């Protein structure tokens, strides 16, 4: 590990590397260290450490600890730059854009060329009760629909599926308070836009 005088950098490096442990043994100390250091709370905007902190949170989920990811969602998105970074990263990961990125600076692009249909389908398909990353999927859906007005009407079938699954998750899933609030906002927005669970003649064309 590279020596550093920055405690945030040290925390991120240690937790990320431990999160790769395939045995799961690191989970006993990994989560407490991440929460005690409170490095998720130290972001006032995007920085090169933001993607690393996201990876730490994902690693902790893979170790069976969902709380750090919830902390990351709640504390590491203090401004529009961080929300944009999260969307650009996820969109790139699911293949929205064709260009390969050489560094993380693409996350800061406030006017990306991708529309978001593929990302929307990816997230809706994973909006169920058996996914370890349910809270992250909910937050990304919330941010995506806020950034791409009318996206659900590009494919009404996906919109109806989202309406159905979001209602189910809101009623039954053990999700965070923030996820419940964001799901309620998603459902309100879908209904206000005129989307219903019923297929129309226009949808069948």
Tens digit of each residue's pLDDT (9 = 90 or more) over 144-162? 999 999 999 999 999 999 9
List of long-range contacts for 83-87, beta carbons under 8 Å, 24+ apart: 83/143, 83/147, 84/108, 84/109, 84/110, 84/147, 85/46, 85/50, 85/51, 86/54, 86/139, 86/140, 86/143, 87/116, 87/119, 87/140, 87/143, 87/144, 87/147
Residue 85 included in any domain: no
Is residue 34 a contact partner of residue 8, using CB atoms and an 8 Å limit?
no
Q: Which of 78, 96, 115 is the last residue of a domain?
A: 78
Same domain, yes or no: 47 and 130? no
Is 58 inside any structural domain? yes
* Residues 117 and 54 both lie in one domain: no
Domains contained in the chain, number:
2
Q: Which residue did the predictor score with more confidence, 201 or 29?
A: 29
What pLDDT sits at residue 203? Answer: 44
Q: What is the pLDDT of residues 40-84, one digit of tens each?
A: 767 899 998 898 888 878 877 877 778 888 989 999 999 999 999
Asked if 96 and 119 count as a contact pair (C-beta separation under 8 A), the reply is yes
pTM, 2 dp: 0.83
In a domain, 70, yes or no: yes
Residue-range definition of the domain harbouring residue 117: 106-205
Residues 123, 170 within the same domain: yes
Do residue 136 and residue 178 come from a single domain? yes
Within this chain, do residues 73 and 128 fall inside the same structural domain, yes or no?
no
DSSP state of 51: H
């Amino acid at each position: 590990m590279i020596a550093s005088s920055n405690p945030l950098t040290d925390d991120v490096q240690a937790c990320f590397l431990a999160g790769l442990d395939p045995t799961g043994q690191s989970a006993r100390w990994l989560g407490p260290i991440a929460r005690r250091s409170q490095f998720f709370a130290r972001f006032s905007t995007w920085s090169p450490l933001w993607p690393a902190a996201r990876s730490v949170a994902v690693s902790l989920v893979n170790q069976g600890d969902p709380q750090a990811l919830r902390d990351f969602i709640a504390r590491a998105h203090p401004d529009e730059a961080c929300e944009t970074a999260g969307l650009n990263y996820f969109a790139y990961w699911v293949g929205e854009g064709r260009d390969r990125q050489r560094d993380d600076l693409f996350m800061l692009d406030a006017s990306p060329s991708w529309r978001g249909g593929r990302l929307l389908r990816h997230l809706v398909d994973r909006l169920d009760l058996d996914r370890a990353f349910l809270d992250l999927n909910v937050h990304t859906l919330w941010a995506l629909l806020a950034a791409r007005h009318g996206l659900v009407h590009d494919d009404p079938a996906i919109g109806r599926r989202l309406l159905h699954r979001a209602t189910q998750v809101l009623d039954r899933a053990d999700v965070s308070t923030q996820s419940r609030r964001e799901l309620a906002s998603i459902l309100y927005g879908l209904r206000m836009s005129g989307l219903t669970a019923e297929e129309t003649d226009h949808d069948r064309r």
